Copies of this chain bind each other. A is one copy, B any other.
Amino acid sequence: MSLRDDILVESRDMLIKQGFGKVSMRKIAKKVNVSATSIYLHFKNKDDLLLALVESSIEKLSDALKDQMVSSDDPVAKLEKMANSFLKFAIENPQEYEIIYMVRHEEMPKYPKEKFEQIRKIYEMLAEIIREGQENKLFQVEDPLMSAYTLWAQLHGVASVVISKRLDTRIPSGEFMSQAKNHIIQGFITQKTPV
């Protein structure tokens, strides 16, 4: 395994175990038995290294979601599965999930957009499900792609409140997420306005 890979492995481990604030170039270097400056031979700077971690976390999430897509269920069930595995991934890999949202896109205009191609593909996938539901008159949406983004944003909000422990102690997080998921899906479903 190359030094570059060692750095990635160790820094991811450090990020997951100790959190974002405690990761430093010097500590990573010590872990892989190399001088701190050596890292700069493989990564432009700290941000660049972190971005590499973001990328691979996105890939993990992407894989977790894709696995759910093999089924030939109806769109509602598909969406539900997606929502489930999204939340499951976030809760089971909280640090991994947080890595994805760690770096602000605006702070890295220098980085090639292709790096985020993967995440765009997930959105397209969601949009496809929604489009299918729209055609079957199951979902009531204006623009499937936009709805894919709102769906994800809603799910992210739910995941993030749980992960960052902002939930009221009176509320069990499992029920919260399942309840939230229902509300979110419900929000897309076609309905006759109540009397």
A residues contacting B by CB (< 8 A) are 101, 104-106, 120, 123, 137-138, 141-143, 145-147, 149-158, 160-161, 164-168, 170-171, 175-176, 179-180, 182-194
Please, which residues of chain B bring their CB within 8 A of the CB of A188? 183, 186-187
28 contacts between A and B (CB under 8 A): A120-B168, A146-B171, A150-B180, A151-B183, A152-B157, A152-B161, A153-B154, A153-B158, A153-B161, A153-B180, A154-B180, A154-B184, A155-B157, A157-B157, A157-B158, A157-B160, A183-B184, A184-B184, A184-B187, A185-B187, A186-B187, A186-B191, A187-B187, A187-B188, A191-B191, A191-B193, A191-B194, A192-B194
**Max chain B CB contacts within 10 Å: which of A146, A164, A182?**
A146
Please, which residues of chain B bring their CB within 8 A of the CB of A186? 186-188, 191
Nearest chain B CB to A81 CB, angstrom units: 18
Say whether chain A's binding surface is mostly helix, strand, loop, or mixed.
helix
**Max chain B CB contacts within 10 Å: which of A170, A187, A188, A191?**
A187
From known contacts A149-B167, A160-B153, A160-B157, infer whether A189 and B194 are also in contact, taking CB-CB under 8 Å.
yes
* A191 contact from B150, B168, B170, B192, Cβ within 8 A: B192
Nearest chain B CB to A171 CB, angstrom units: 5
